[in-house]
Amino acid sequence: MTATKAKRLNGKAILLIVGGGIAAYKSLDLVRRLKERGASVRAILTRAGAEFVTPLSLSVLSEEKAFTDLFDLKDEAEIGHIRLSREADLIVVAPATADLLAKMAHGLADDLATAVLLATDKTVLVAPAMNVRMWQHPATKRNVATLRADGVALVGPEEGEMACGEYGLGRMAEPAAIIDAIASSLGSSLLGTSSLGTSLLAASPAGANAEGPLQGLRVLITSGPTHEPIDPVRYLANRSSGKQGHALARAALELGAEVVLVSGPVALPDPHGVRVVKVETAHEMLAAALAALPADIAICAAAVADWRAADEAPQKLKKQQPGSEASLKLKQNPNILATLAKPGGKRPRLVIGFAAETENLIDNAIAKRRAKGADWIVANDVWPGTGAMGGDHTQIHLITGQGTEDWPAMSKDEMARRLLARAAETLQLLRSAAE
């Protein structure tokens, strides 16, 4: 472990709440990793959590007393649940059991952990852990939806074998994934002070950074909508503005990458210094993307039309009798994300897709990642009331092989910088592992 790595969370105060469940043993490794990165850690152990790990274990690793009892007069006099909640930069609940999630969603405060959670004004990050059927139960889904609406961030759960012998979603995220989520929730990714340099989050906007972490790498980005002709004057399309894809192109350039931006029809200026390939249809976009390979990173931010007219009319289609109906036969377009993610010699080392959904956001995004073979999926809610489609701000959930991370609302430019910085460190880690 280098000195730089040890300071990645230097000065950050983490309050860890350990719930009851077999996954509680991972909390000990989490404390160790947080301390290695320079964070201070205080731990609260629930009564059920104490059935799996001991206060002594948490105390030794955190170098702080492990708190357990709401009605401990000495603790209340010297620390108090209000001070515990206020003195932390972030509160992490790991594991977050179904019972703890339910109490949080309903504002219950019958022990020290829940009293702290109700009294805090800081960001709360939870790492759910429970049986797959408990996770899928309508009550848990309602509670999670409530917590998300309240601003609580989630990491995981992951899919895998349960302690009970069943298989499915419900395993607590691994400590490494929780560390990444902690950094994102604090608003200053580990990347900002990593060995890759502070320029990852604050690169010059004037153009490519010759010493940036993506220097010497090629990034392929698709952006905007596609227009699928019905006849010479009509087409199928969507409401994508291309703002997010173009922001990603600018961010990649700032970090030193050679950038190829394959853009559908948009009303945006071309990012200066970026090679832009303009296309209209999904077939044209796929051809341009394949022609841009090889690439180190591929980001499919374009909102490609899923369908096209099965038979494009050579002349403008005319209305028939007033009030008459017309039918349009559709054919599926090629899937650009799945094509780029397909294993092979030209597959980019990191393939990132986007999932714009109006319902079941996380579940649909997780399913899309598996089906398309992508490394990451950036999921965002595009229900009309969110303003994400065509707007300047977004709130995304990053789906990786390690779980789900909820990012706070931010501008599309800031999201682009954070995502590309995260991608840069991931490639650095992959290179280090290969060496």
Instruction: Give dist(CA 409, CA 397) in Å, integer.
Output: 10
C-alpha separations of 340 from 42, 131, 353 in Å: 45, 35, 10
Could you say which of 82, 145, 163, 164 is catalytic? 164
Structure tokens at 100: 């703890």
The size of the chain, in residues, is: 435
The contacts of residue 419 (CB under 8 Å, 6+ apart) are 248, 251, 299, 352, 378, 398
164: annotated active-site residue: yes
Distance of CA 271 to the CA centre of its chain: 25
Helix (H) or strand (E) segment spanning residue 17? strand 13-18
Kindly tell me the sign of the dihedral angle through the C-alpha atoms of 176, 177, 182, 188: positive
Instruction: Give dist(CA 203, CA 209) in Å, integer.
Output: 7
Beta pairing partners, 258: 218
CA angle, 418 as apex, 262 and 135 as ends, to 5°? 100
Q: Are 348 and 373 in contact (CB under 8 A)?
A: no
Structure tokens at 293: 């390979």
Q: Which residues are catalytic?
A: 164
